[in-house]
Amino acid sequence: MPEIKLASSDDEIRACSSVMRQLRTHIAEADFLKRIRFQQRSGYQLCYLTEENTVRSVAGFRFIENLASGRVLYVDDLVSACGSRSNGYGQKVLAWLVEQAKAAGCDTLELDSGVQRFGAHRFYLRNRMDIVSHHFRMNLK
């Protein structure tokens, strides 16, 4: 039976590394724990779904507040392991995130998704999410 938990120990965070780095390929395995711990200082949380003692899906999220949306559960990262996709794991994690958002009194659950991630877009649209804006970026380095 799949189980979703928050990663709090170093070992739990490290166990999420290989799945998360399938989405965030620029992060070296050696840097993963340090980067998660740094982000946790500003409210980032990492959850993961396991089945048969294997991490199948992970999500990084935070609670934020802004004028545009009010109280938001913002999903920074959501990914299922390559060999575990299309098995409902991402769906279970997203449903869990929705429940966390509701329990925290959020007005919305929001995320950004790269324009090239067509499969992810189909997943989000199937799960009653709407495309509501374009995300703009200015590189400063």
- Which residue range forms the structural domain that includes residue 64? 3-111
Q: What is the mean pLDDT of residues 8-28?
A: 97
Query: For the domain that residue 43 is a member of, what is the CATH number?
Result: 3.40.630.30
Cα gap 15→54, rounded to integer Å: 9
* Total tally of structural domains belonging to the chain: 1
Q: Percent of the chain at pLDDT above 70?
A: 100
Residue 36's nearest CA partner among 85, 65, 77, 81 is 77
DSSP letter, residue 9? S
DSSP letter, residue 68? T
Residue 125 lies in a domain: no
One-letter amino acid identity for 94? Answer: L
Q: What is the pTM of this model?
A: 0.93
Which pLDDT score, from 0 to 100, does residue 138 have? 84
Residue 80 lies in a domain: yes
Extract the tokens encoding 61.
């999220």
Q: What is the pLDDT of residues 92-131, one digit of tens each?
A: 999 999 999 999 999 999 999 988 898 899 999 999 999 9
Residue 70 lies in a domain: yes
pLDDT higher than threshold 90 for residue 67: yes
Residue 14 lies in a domain: yes
Cα gap 130→31, rounded to integer Å: 34
Residue 42 lies in a domain: yes
Count CA within 13 A, CB hemisphere, residue 137.
Answer: 7
Mutual orientation of helices 10-23 and 29-40 as an angle, nearest 10°? 110
- As a 3-state breakdown, the chain gives helix, strand, coil percent values, each rounded to 5, of 40, 30, 35
Residue 123 lies in a domain: no
Which pLDDT score, from 0 to 100, does residue 111 have? 94
pLDDT higher than threshold 90 for residue 5: yes
Residue 140 lies in a domain: no
Residue 117 lies in a domain: no
Other CB atoms within 10 Å distance of the CB of residue 58: 30
- In angstroms, what CA-CA distances link 117 with 10, 70, 100? 30, 27, 25
Cα gap 112→37, rounded to integer Å: 22
